[in-house]
Chain A
Amino acid sequence: MADYNTMELMICIAARNLEDGATVVVGTGAPCAAAMLSQKTKSPNLCIMFEAGGVAPILPSMPISVGDSRTFHKAIMASSMPEIMETCQRGMVDYTFLGGAQIDMYGNINSTMIGDNHAKPKVRFPGSGGANDLASLCWRTMMMTPQDSKRFTEKCDFITSPGYLQGGNSRYEAGLPLGTGPYRIITNMAIMGFDDETKRMKVVSINPGYSRKDVQDNCGFELLWADKISDTDPPHADELRILREEVDPYRYVIGR
């Protein structure tokens, strides 16, 4: 296998999915690294936004908080949380990235709790933060996550952020804006999209070193498969160089 780790692979793939001139709201860590890499490779005019108000900063380093001063360093605008969220609600934000403890076949994500008693959860996580807002209001939601059959679950204990809810047209029927929803799930093993009709998760590409069986065995629900499954193009040397030297030289993210 080539000389890169899982985090580097996922970040490189995510970066390729952000086109020049698009807008993206990111959090700290891997999503921010992917957006920075995209800017330094194929999409110099990618507009990076942070939910506390930062718009199009020239990031000197990776932020620790989506509201710290790095997120509006030499920025176009240091605005507010309502400003960013209302821009999303108006339909001006193309992409966002989310993470979570659980994801189901419709791309619904749990970052709130494990257990069945909300008042006394077995394990409590921070909750939505801006995740539900971005998943509801941005056009396309992506996720980068290692894949296993616990995380990719039949049923989330709690749906923090909406994917396609119960599939089909249920997302729109619930009242969420038309044409929005999960777009790509990027794991260590594969890249998934979603079926146009059923809105179920569908494998489109398998990463180097993994088989169809690996991908299904490490998923807690039945995956759909695209008619033509491609081999994921592994990270290129120039992508890795820029990621390692310019985006994350202290390996805060890619060293995980």
Chain B
Amino acid sequence: MNMSVQLKSGRNELFTDPDPDKAREFFRHKSRAMKSKLSTPEEVVKTMVNDGDYIAIGGFGANRIPTAIVHEIARQKKKNLGFAGHTATHDFQILVGGECIDRCDIAYIIGLEARGLSPNARRAVQDGKIKLTEWTNATLSWRLKAAAMGLSFMPARNILGTSTFEYSAAKEIECPFTGKKFAAYPALYPDFAAIHVHECDIYGNCHVYGASVSDQDLAKAAKRVVITTEKLIHTDKIRQNPEGTFIPFWCVDAVIEVPYGSYPGNMPYEYFSDEAHIKEWLTAEKDPEEFKKFYNKQIYGTKNFNEYLELNGGIEKIKKLRAQELLLDLGNGGKK
């Protein structure tokens, strides 16, 4: 290819520093100790999330999400957060409802996939309340992967030639071997990440089942990581199957046991998403006043995740969602 043409750069803001030596300096001082990291959402958000931090949420919008942490960030009214909008759906909806975010790397925001769009998140974005830099799902995955590798960028072959590139902070580069044009994506080292897993020991060694999205790279890329887990397990169970360790302890700063902790999201092999409740969010959001009341009741009006789960049907609801997830026919008891 003729490379005499000028290489282009995306024009929007890069919200995080991709410098790998600064990252190394941080990771140099991160604890490698195998010590108990048990904590609570209140404590974790108080001590690990600062106003202005750049945060990322594991899972996939409304699948395997750390709901307790997202709620707690809103309850503690954290402000001016940067956010990795990596197919962010219900998580984004909660954080925008609490007016926690002021800048966002976008792959996918304001939508809830087949469920439709979040009216409140859409209003916030259309009113210009959140600074936006465009990316894509693969691009954000690879930005995290670059950070997980301890690099400053990752080359790839998507987004070239589009407005998505123009409004990103990517740069075109020439491959030193083939002369071909690639996009270079700056490594993304979030200040804080929360990931929900199926099981984990008190040190943060995790098992995850089902599609893993970008969570292994996210756990390595983020400076501070909290794991919420459906249940705690003994380390013996990790040692019996070391090839199954999804995230190792040295990535993890805090561990919180939160049964049903992805609710109202889907938790693979455990419970399906609560579509009726997610629809309540979308309906309430149509009217800003109505949504304020709804949000007050659901988030500020509940002390913690258990109260929120109780408010929306508690264990009985989970039993129905479990039947749905496992495709069980419970007869009348299984009716929605």
Interface residue ranges, A against B (CB under 8 Å): 27-29, 50-54, 60, 62-69, 71-72, 78-82, 85, 88-89, 108, 112, 118-133, 136-137, 156, 158-162, 165, 170-177, 252
* In the bound complex, CA of A159 to CA of B160 (Å): 11
Q: Contact between A162 and B162 (Cβ–Cβ < 8 Å)?
A: yes
- Which segment, of B16-24, B75-83, B94-102, B123-131, faces chain A? B123-131
A-B contact pairs, 27 of them (CB 8 A): A53-B211, A63-B114, A65-B273, A67-B213, A68-B63, A85-B158, A89-B156, A118-B12, A120-B126, A121-B126, A125-B117, A126-B111, A127-B85, A128-B135, A128-B136, A129-B111, A129-B136, A130-B87, A130-B138, A133-B138, A136-B160, A156-B163, A159-B161, A162-B162, A170-B161, A173-B1, A176-B157
Q: Say which residue of B109, B122, B136 sits within 8 Å of A130 (CB atoms).
A: B136
Q: List B contacts of A156 (CB < 8 A).
A: 163
The distance in angstroms between the C-alpha atoms of A63 and B62, with both chains bound, is 13
Whether A132 touches B217, Cβ cut-off 8 Å, given contacts A64-B113, A65-B61, A175-B182, is no
Rounded to whole angstroms, the CA-CA distance of A81 and B209 in the bound complex is 14
Supposing A64-B113, A127-B107 touch, asked if A120 and B62 sit within 8 A by C-beta, the answer is no
Select from chain A the residue with minimum beta-carbon distance to B118: A126
- Asked whether B213 lies within 8 Å of A80 as measured between CB atoms, the reply is yes
Q: How far is the CA of A103 from the CA of B12 in the complex (A)?
A: 24
* CB pair A128 B137 closer than 8 Å: yes
Count how many chain B residues have C-beta atoms less than 8 Å from C-beta atoms of the other chain: 68
Q: Which one, B40-48, B229-237, B264-272, is touching chain A?
A: B264-272
User: Which listed residue, A112, A119, A129, touches B137 by the CB 8 Å rule?
Assistant: A129
Interface residue ranges of B209-241 to A (CB < 8 Å) = 209-217
Q: Is the CB of A137 within 8 A of B163?
A: no
Supposing A29-B114, A50-B211, A159-B162 touch, asked if A112 and B134 sit within 8 A by C-beta, the answer is yes
B192 in the interface (beta carbon within 8 A): no
Could you tell me if B142 and A82 are in contact, using CB atoms closer than 8 angstroms?
A: yes
User: Which residues does chain B contribute within 8 Å of A71, judged by CB atoms?
Assistant: 211
Q: List B contacts of A159 (CB < 8 A).
A: 161-164
Which of the residues A81, A128, A131, A176 comes within 8 Å of B161, measured between beta carbons? A176
How far in angstroms is the closest Cβ of chain B from A240? 22
Q: Which 7 A-B pairs have the closest CB atoms?
A: A174-B161, A53-B211, A67-B60, A175-B181, A126-B111, A136-B158, A133-B138
13 further interface pairs, Cβ-Cβ under 8 Å (given A53-B211, A65-B60, A118-B134): A28-B114, A29-B114, A54-B211, A65-B63, A65-B114, A79-B211, A82-B217, A124-B126, A126-B108, A129-B87, A129-B108, A174-B160, A175-B172
Chain A residues near B113: list those with CB within 8 A: 27-28, 64-66
CA distance A120 to B128 in the complex (A): 5
Q: Which of B1, B126, B272 is in CB contact (< 8 Å) with A69?
A: B272
Q: Mark B133-154, 1 if CB is under 8 A from A, else 0.
A: 0111111011001000000000
Residues of A within 8 A of B180 (CB): 175
| Candidate in B159, B162, B216 with the most chain A CB atoms within 10 angstroms | B162
Measured CA separation A165–B163 after assembly (Å): 10
Contact assessment for B162 and A160 in the assembled complex, using a CB-CB cutoff below 8 Å: yes
Q: Which residue of B lies closest to A122 (CB)?
A: B126
Q: How far apart are the CA atoms of A161 and B134 in the complex, in Å?
A: 12
| A127 partner, pick from B1, B106, B158, B266, beta carbons under 8 A | B106
Residues of A within 8 A of B160 (CB): 136, 162, 174-176
Nearest Cβ in chain B — how far from A230, in angstroms?
32
Q: A54-B211, A60-B327, A176-B157 are in contact. Are A128 and B87 (CB under 8 A)?
A: no
A207 to B231 Cα, complex, angstroms: 55
Do the beta carbons of B162 and A78 come within 8 Å of each other?
A: no
Q: Would you give the shortest CB distance from A116 to chain B, in whole angstroms?
A: 11
Q: Which residues of the partner chain B approach A51 to less than 8 Å between Cβ atoms?
A: 137
Determine if B325 is an interface residue (Cβ-Cβ < 8 Å).
Answer: yes
**Closest B-chain residue to A66, C-beta based?**
B113
Give the most central of A50, A162, A170, A171: most B CB within 10 Å: A162
Cβ of B167 under 8 Å from chain A: yes
The reply to whether the CB of B110 lies closer than 8 angstroms to some CB of chain A is yes
CA–CA, A175 and B211, complex, Å: 30
Cα–Cα, bound, A104→B50 (Å): 44
Q: Mark B306-330, 1 if CB is under 8 A from A, else 0.
A: 0000000000000000000101000
